[in-house]
């Protein structure tokens, strides 16, 4: 029975589910559960993107802040974005990775 499943691995608690192009819906649900188990705010970063603009106002112009000028909250949200990239790329085989990168 297990040979007929569209994914080759079982459930891992510390490894994201491997993406298989045969059953995206199944992978999507499994990936959501995996990411939420790490931190629900990371899933929020996936679904909503970064919720801040790292801009500072100088006179009447907006200029992008350097990372050292970010608030603690902005830095935490940017870290979530990095974690998301790591999780998603870890779930892809090399062919899929090069297709999305």
Helices (H), 1-101: 24-38, 40-48, 72-90, 94-100
Phi, psi (rounded to 5 degrees) for 53: -110, 120
**Dist. CA 64–CA 88, nearest whole Å:** 27
Quote the pTM value.
0.67
More confident residue, 71 or 55: 71
Q: How confident is the model at residue 60 (pLDDT cuts 50, 70, 90)?
A: low
Q: For residue 80, what pLDDT is reported?
A: 87
pLDDT at residue 36, as a whole number: 93
DSSP code of 34?
H
Asked whether 51 and 77 are in contact (CB, 8 A), the reply is yes
């Amino acid at each position: 029975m297990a040979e007929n499943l569209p994914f080759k691995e079982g459930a891992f608690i510390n490894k994201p589910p491997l993406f298989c192009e045969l059953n995206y819906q199944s992978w999507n649900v499994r990936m959501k559960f995996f990411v939420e188990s790490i931190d629900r705010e990371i899933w929020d970063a996936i679904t909503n993107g970064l919720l801040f603009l790292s801009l500072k106002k100088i006179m009447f112009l907006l200029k992008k802040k350097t990372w050292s000028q970010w608030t603690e909250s902005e830095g935490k949200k940017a870290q979530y974005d990095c974690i998301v990239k790591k999780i998603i790329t870890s779930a892809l085989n090399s062919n899929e990775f090069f297709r999305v990168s």
